[in-house]
Structure 1
Amino acid sequence: MHITNLPNELLHIIVGHLSSEPDLFHVAQTGHLLSQIALLRLYQYDEVHGRYGGITQWAACHGRVDILQRAATCGISIAKFDLACHAACRGHSNVLDLVAASRGNVPFTSDELSTLVEEACAWPRLDILTRLFEGFGATINPQRPWECLANATRSNCLACVKILLDRGADPARIATEETALEIAAQEGYADIANLLLEHGANVHDQMNRHFSPMHLAAMHGRVDVLMVFLRYGAHPGVTTVDGSTPLRLAIRYCQNAAATFLMRETQGHGADAQTLLSVIHRGSAELVQLHLQAGVPAVPPATKPNESLLYVAARRGSHAVASMLLDAGVSIEVGNLQGDTPLFAAVEKNHPQTVNLLLRRGANPNVVGSSGLMPLHVAALNGLLDITTALLNHGAISAAETPHDNATPLHLACASGNIQVVQCLLQRRHRIESVAKGNGISCLHMAALCGHLSLTQWLLRTPAGAELLNSRDHTGRTPLFIAARDGKDKIVKELLASRANTRRANYFGSMPVFAAVRNGHSGITEDLLAVDPWLFDSKDRVYGSHSLWYWANRCGSSRLINLLRRFAREYGKEEPRDAQDVTAVGEPSSARTSKRPCDVCARRFNFDTATRCTICCGGEFYMCVECTSNASCLDASHPQQSAVWVPNPTKYIADKYKDYMRVSNA
């Protein structure tokens, strides 16, 4: 017997026992009779197991009245209140009417109607809101009278707000943490703010909290709302509990349009020295001008007296602001409490336009900053060509020496690696052969020390290149020695190509190859040995007499040891006796890159274990622990025991320049 020939009662029982949608679909496709029975079961099944909360909820959300009606014929209730809520949220008035019709003569209670009103205001749905009030007699929830108005305001629905106000909503009531007027102030809804004020909202009321509506509008930059509030009598200088005015909040939150409006269109806005300092920090020339026109004195506030206003403007590079302050009579030479002038700040922060302004207005180009440097030193150190040129054109002393090591701007320009700045200084009668008096470093020394290959090549091509090539500093180090010690392999190759003297030792008897070996630079060691194989058998005279093998084993570099062994096999050499049974106490060069080299043995070491002689090299002579115990001072004019030694010095002299080297290290 075919299944369609079974009695309807039995077919209903069979279909009712099917527990999955695929089975129900297969049965529905069998025939017209079974499709009717299966469809009924499908509606019932989906209402319970549907992925969207049931077929009726899906239909209510999408406005499908036909599906809801079909569900009702299948015995599924469409009188559930959540269906009405979905309809109210999504604006389906036809669904709302259908649900209401299924609920009898009094479809909704007063609480349910209030809930529907809140939902309609939150989205917002003006047609639903009108239908609820006029068709169902809804009222605003007396237990939550503020939520509807707050929701409508957040949704920026002016018509909804008007309906609620006409229905008795109180605009002064607090919703959660804020009134409807405060919401309008923050969001910039000027029309709603005006409507709320027409219906009795209080523009002055801070509701025992921190901000008034004026403060909120200012800090969010709502100029249109500020205009509305002022028309209703809001005071532009109203303060918070901590004394902040709307103007101060607008400046603090970078709302320049609101701050400008308050200063241009109101009186008693509360502009003072603090707000003037704030707008200078933010570089707003228009607001600075408005402050000065309002009679605010161009002096720092009492709470922050550390820097002059001109110093702040110069450090920010605010050229227009600096010009206004100078016109207002601010002293051009007063900077911060440490003694740095506005010119020094502008140079340090690389603001050439501000530097030119200050120089034209009479700033002293040779003023000494708190670090002991002059503006020209800082400009040269950072490779700032425009600023260097401007300073020289306005009388900067091109040969001024630093207090630390008597370096000139030319030496510091070589540290930056900027060839154009070096050339600019040389045009001012600088001698490229000159050395820093404190440590004897030449321009080529500085280029090698800082790793500037292009500058090194340029210096070697100058007429003084041959003289610079093998020049010595106060400890006898040549540029090749420094490059080999610091692992500057490209510069070493360039110096070797220019026939630098590989055997020229420092005043402690150590040659460049030993500086390379002690610091684990196997590639540089190989380059030096390839140029001068005699170096393989050489010995130093630091304290005792040791071979390259000895220092390679001390360093602990397997690459160096293998290099020397390969070299020994090629030239028939034997391992020296002093290299046997040597314990490695060093580190690979990669672990020593951030340490300071010893001025005696050239090995890098932790600076906190250094000892400094206050007589040698102008008081800037540093020795590692081992050299302090075994070596002698550089200066033979005094015995080591009579020197004034400073153990664990706090700062290496080169570090004193780091705070002023932003551009060149970028």
Structure 2
Amino acid sequence: MSLGSFVFTSTALRSLEVDKDMLERQKYKKQLTSHHFNRYMLKKEIRDRAPLRSSTLPPAVCQDAVVQNALYTGDLEAMQRLFPRGSTANLIIEPQGGDMRWVPAGDGLWSLSYEQELTTPLHITASRGFTDCLRLLLQRGADVDQAPGGTAALHESCENCQPECTKLLLIHGANANAVTEEGLMPLHFCTSPESLECARNLLQYGAAINGRTQDENDTPLHVAAGNGLPEHAELYLRYGAAVDKRNNEGLTPLIAACAQPQEVQELERYFKVCQTLLAAGANAHAVDQDKHTPLHMACKNANPDIVDLLLANGACVNDMGYGGEAPMHNILKMASYKVSHQPERIVRALLNHGSIRVWPGALPTVLKHCCGSPRTIEVLLNAYSRLKVTDTWVEAVSSEALKEHKDFYESVFSLAQTPRTLQHLARFRIRVFLEGRLHKAVPKLDLPTFIKNYLLLEYRGYVH
């Protein structure tokens, strides 16, 4: 019967269009799921082409909400009923729902659809730490290396820090070097302090200590360093990890640790990683593809303990990157944003190790960007014998910084009419004489401690 045989209201037509869209989305959803499943089965057939297994039946797709509920809640009694002796646990789970995403619908149109990711009972139980349920499934013959969504259950147990499940999978023959579609091995999923036991289990069962990721060419030591995991780094080094391997960006694990942005509460972890790497022989002078050294990166992320450590291991304060920036440039760019990281400690250490100073004409610009860290400004200005303070200096300091640190900035601005003190000039001359040797020579001088600290630019809260 033709559409023109009836009188359709606009509401009825819209309803028909909605129904049609729903049917199209359901059709696309089934096609998408079928595509993922067929792709998985094709890979499995190629991988398992041995004659002995050629007659093995493919795993069934399970959409049963009762089975899924038992798996996701770790209900062992329900699973014992659902997977009795003689049954198979080799299932592909198609979760209900999922995240919405835009997918092409043809003719240049896009529609919202649920993103379905195929998984297995092993993945669900292993990632949630349901050890007893996982053991039951393995006893029922579940394929330990099954990876319909591109990752094996072992990857997910490591990612979710489930050491007991990780060990159980390995005992049942899981491949410790299984590679995901993104080119990651299980060790690359050990990215948090809680995953240490998982990493230890993997190494005991033959995980490749220097295995590389496909995209970035990172080793597990790169991953541990970049995530600030000192115990992981120590473990990997004991198993023979290469301490100075480079990834695709030219980063060694030491550079990777220094290059990672760090919150205040993470500074100590990253310091311990660098300490461990340097003790194992890491090169403090290594450079990445942009000629950035570990010291450049540590200054950029304002970790004063790492800066002190690198300088103690011979890092050069005046190495230049391809952009012409020295470590001093990097810390001055970040001083106001990293006040809680004590950037003044870094500026002080660099100057005491012979760092180049800022061109005097650029001091107003530095003042503008660093005025939120008055201690950084104090250390910086005390490296000069004279300062030409002008109205530009006053304009460079924000009203907020001036209000919060009024006394300090008034002492700076007063230098417009007052020369530096004789005490400071004497300090300056000694520092020039000991240029590059201050950090070694001053502690050996037979002087009171407060004078030594003064020579090494200790903070006083004002400039004189």
Structure-1 separation of matches of 2:68 and 2:372: 60
Aligned to 1:390: 201
User: Does residue 306 of structure 2 align to residue 306 of structure 1?
Assistant: no
**What does residue range 58-97 of structure 1 map to in structure 2 within 5 Å?**
none
- Alpha-carbon distance change, 420 to 486 in structure 1, aligned in 2, over 3 angstroms: closer
- Provide closer, same or farther for how the CA distance between residues 351 and 563 of structure 1 changes in structure 2, counting only shifts above 3 A: closer
Unpaired segments of 5 or more residues in structure 2? 1-62, 97-116, 261-266, 337-342, 402-464
Cα distance, 1:302–1:526 mapped onto 2, change above 3 Å: closer
Q: How does 1:631-650 map to 2 (within 5 A)?
A: none
Displacement, 1:570? Answer: 6.0
Match of 2:370 in 1: 557
Structure 2 equivalent of residue 347 of structure 1: 158
Cα gap change, 1:388 to 1:548, in 2 (>3 Å) = farther
Residue 453 (structure 1) aligned with residue 263 (structure 2): no
* Aligned residue identity for 1:316: R
Match of 2:68 in 1: 277
Q: Deviations over 1:529-557 (max 9, x none)?
A: 5414552256xxxxxxx97626514x532
2:33 corresponds to which residue?
A: none
Contact 2:86 2:140 in 1 (8 A): no
Say what the alpha-carbon RMSD is for the aligned residues: 3.5
Deviation at 1:564, TM superposition (A): 4.6
Pairing partner for 1:483 from 273, 293, 298: 298
C-alpha displacement at 1:500, in angstroms? 2.4
Provide the rounded CA distance (Å) in 2 between the counterparts of 1:341 and 1:301: 14
Identify if the C-alpha distance between structure 1 residues 398 and 548 changes in structure 2 by more than 3 Å, giving closer, same or farther: farther
Change (3 A) 1:423 1:519: closer
Residue equivalent to 2:105: none
The alignment status of 1:536 with 2:351, answered yes or no, reads no
Cα 1:489–1:294, aligned 2, differ >3 Å: closer, same or farther? Answer: same
| Corresponding residue of 2:284 | 469
Matched with 2:335 is 520
Structure 2 distance, partners of 1:563, 1:344, is 46
CA gap of 1:318–1:558, structure 2 versus 1, over 3 A, is same
Kindly state the Cα deviation for residue 409 of structure 1 after the two structures are TM-superposed.
0.6
Counterpart CA distance in 2 for 1:302 and 1:418 is 35
- Aligned residue type for 2:163: P
Determine the structure 1 residue equivalent to 2:250. 440
Change (3 A) 1:475 1:530: same
Tell me: CA distance 1:548–1:425, structure 2 relative to 1, closer, same or farther (3 Å). farther
Read off the aligned partner of 1:412 and give its amino acid letter: V
Q: Return the offset for 1:477.
A: 1.3
Query: Unpaired segments of 5 or more residues in structure 1?
Result: 1-271, 539-545, 589-666
- Which range moved further: 368-377 or 379-388? 379-388
Show the counterpart of 1:494: 309
- The CA distance in 2 between the partners of 1:427 and 1:486, in whole Å, is 28
Aligned counterpart, 1:245: none
C-alpha distance in 2 between matches for 1:389 and 1:558: 47
Whole-Å separation in 2 of the counterparts to 1:273 and 1:567: 68
Does residue 1:422 correspond to 2:233, yes or no?
yes
Note the C-alpha offset of 1:472.
1.3
Matches for 1:36-51 after TM superposition, within 5 Å: none
Write the deviation string for residues 34-60 of structure 1: whole angstroms up to 9, x where unpaired: xxxxxxxxxxxxxxxxxxxxxxxxxxx
Tell me the alpha carbon deviations over residues 413-452 of structure 1, each in whole angstroms, 9 at most, x when there is no partner: 223333332233223332212222x112222223323441
Give 2:325's aligned residue: 510
8 Å Cα contact 1:347/1:355 also seen in 2: yes
The structure-2 alpha-carbon separation of the partners of 1:459 and 1:323, relative to structure 1 and needing over 3 Å to count, comes to: same
Cα displacement string for residues 212-270 of structure 1 (whole angstroms, at most 9, x for unaligned residues)? xxxxxxxxxxxxxxxxxxxxxxxxxxxxxxxxxxxxxxxxxxxxxxxxxxxxxxxxxxx
Q: Whole-Å Cα distance in 1 between the matches of residues 95 and 286 of structure 2?
A: 55
One-letter amino acid matched to 1:332: V
Higher relative contact order (CA 8 A, sep 6+): 2
Separation of aligned partners in 2, 1:569 and 1:429: 47
Superposition pairs of residues 311-330 of structure 1, within 5 angstroms: 311-330=123-142
Whether 2:192 is the aligned partner of 1:364: answer no
Letter in 1 for 2:295: L
CA distance in 2, matches of 1:562, 1:328: 66
**1:392 is aligned with what amino acid?**
L
Contact 2:333 2:369 in 1 (8 A): no
Q: Secondary structure at the match of 1:504?
A: coil
Q: 1:552 to 1:334 in 2, by over 3 A?
A: same
Q: How far apart are 1:487 and its partner, in Å?
A: 1.5
Could you list the per-position Cα deviations for residues 455-504 of structure 1 after superposition, in whole angstroms to 9, with x for gaps in the alignment?
22233333x15xx2222122111111111111212222332344421111
* 1:566-619 per-position Cα deviation (integer Å, ceiling 9, x unaligned): 754663244599x9899899x99xxxxxxxxxxxxxxxxxxxxxxxxxxxxxxx
Q: 1:571 aligns with which of 384, 393, 396?
A: 384
Q: Matched residues in 1 for 2:95 and 2:353: separation? A: 68
Tell me how far apart the structure 2 counterparts of residues 444 and 295 of structure 1 sit (CA, whole Å): 53
User: How much does 1:325 deviate?
Assistant: 1.5
Cα displacement (A) at 1:301:
6.2
Distance 1:416 1:556 in 2: 29
**1:291 matched to 2:57:** no
Q: Which amino acid aligns with 1:531?
A: N
Alignment equivalent of 1:334, drawn from 131, 142, 146: 146
Q: Is the 8 A contact 1:380 1:409 kept in 2?
A: no
Letter in 1 for 2:272: S
Instruction: Report which of the two structures shows the higher radius of gyration computed on alpha carbons.
Output: 1
Q: Which amino acid aligns with 1:397?
A: A
| Alpha-carbon distance in 2 for matches of 1:311, 1:364 | 14
Superposed displacement of residue 378, structure 1: 1.1
Compared CA separation, residues 564 and 523, structure 1 to 2 (3 A) = closer
Q: CA deviation at 1:336?
A: 4.5
Distance 1:423 1:525, change over 3 A: closer
Partners of 2:395 and 2:346 in 1: CA distance: 20
Distance in 1, Cα, partners of 2:318 & 2:95: 63
Contact 2:154 2:174 in 1 (8 A): yes
**TM-score, normalised to structure 2's length?**
0.57
- Partner amino acid, structure 2, of 1:275: V
Once the two structures are TM-superposed, the CA of residue 306 in structure 1 deviates from its matched residue by 2.5
Q: Residues 424 and 301 from structure 1, CA distance in 2 versus in 1: closer, same or farther, beyond 3 angstroms?
A: closer
Contact 1:273 1:296 in 2 (8 A): no
Kept in 1: contact 2:351–2:357 (CA 8 A): no
Distance 2:315 2:95 in 1: 60
Contact 1:352 1:386 in 2 (8 A): yes
Q: Percent identity?
A: 22
Distance 2:187 2:196 in 1: 10
Q: CA deviation at 1:408?
A: 0.6
Q: Residues 419 and 461 of structure 1: is their aligned pair in 2 closer, same or farther, counting only changes over 3 Å? A: same
| Conservation of the 8 A alpha-carbon contact between 1:414 and 1:443 | yes
Counterpart-to-counterpart distance in 2, 1:547 and 1:335: 62
Q: Distance in 1 between matches of 2:389 and 2:353?
A: 19
How many residues matched? 302
Which amino acid in structure 2 is aligned with residue 557 of structure 1? C
- The TM-score normalised by the length of structure 1 is 0.41
